[in-house]
A and B are shown apart, each in its own frame.
Chain A
Amino acid sequence: NAGVTQTPKFRVLKTGQSMTLLCAQDMNHEYMYWYRQDPGMGLRLIHYSVGEGTTAKGEVPDGYNVSRLKKQNFLLGLESAAPSQTSVYFCASSYRGDGFYFGPGTRLLVL
């Protein structure tokens, strides 16, 4: 039982490049989330999904897109990376909002 896994662990991008972060969970959770963590700002919700095929915007959705084609996977895309998107990205999953499980994080540096 791996829990929540994230791929990749680290990535360096140049401004304007694109990339996709993959989150996978094996707990059959309905809800999945993408957060970003920046110093002094805690974790801020980017996008989330309450089920396969559904997505919704969080607090800071601009510059990101997401897709949930399979229940166990939640993808976060950056179409044109900007230095302001340098951050640590965490994925999480939840059964019904009463217990959240986090992945180990992806460190992204945009030059």
Chain B
Amino acid sequence: AQSVTQLDSQVPVFEEAPVELRCNYSSSVSVYLFWYVQYPNQGLQLLLKYLSGSTLVKGINGFEAEFNKSQTSFHLRKPSVHISDTAEYFCAVSVFNTDKLIFGTGTRLQVFP
């Protein structure tokens, strides 16, 4: 079975500082990896996804993530955060050629002025 671990439940950071949100997954087969963002009282928006190819994936709003197969990680990064990045971020995994998306428990990013 597949699982996703988001190591930090909350990450506080000051505006314009860099941030990394950590995600590790467990799977014995190839996977697709996703990061979603959820702003307060809203639905989920796809930030970026890794399906194949280059291990560095660029997404919307200046976010990027790097797939590391040997460490089974897919950490999300942004070099300079804004107040508007305050939200909950979810890492998720889907096994290639199957049909389920499994989520981590989420990381709440809080950006302070």
Using a CB–CB cutoff of 8 Å, the interface residues on chain A facing chain B are 31, 33, 35, 40-45, 48, 50, 58, 90, 92, 94, 96-100, 102-105
Contacts and interface: CB of A to CB of B under 8 A. Distances in A.
Interface residues of B, number: 26
Interface of B: 6, 9, 32, 34, 36, 42-44, 46, 49, 51, 90, 92, 94-106
A100 B101 contact: yes
A43 B43 contact: no
Nearest to B90: A42
Contacts of A99: 46, 49
Contact of A42 (B32, B95, B98, B106): B106
A67 B36 CA distance: 27
Contacts of B43: 90, 102-105
Contacts, number: 59
Chain A interface, >50% SS class: strand
Shortest 9 CB-CB distances between A and B: which pairs?
A42-B105, A42-B103, A43-B103, A102-B44, A104-B43, A42-B106, A97-B94, A97-B99, A102-B43
B103 A44 contact: yes
8 contacts: A35-B103, A42-B106, A45-B100, A97-B32, A97-B100, A98-B32, A98-B49, A102-B43
Contacts of A92: 101
Contacts of B96: 97
Contacts of B98: 97
B35 to A, nearest CB: 12
Contact of A97 (B90, B97, B105): B97
A84 B42 CA distance: 22
B94 A50 contact: no
Nearest to B45: A102
Contacts of B32: 97-98
B26 to A, nearest CB: 15
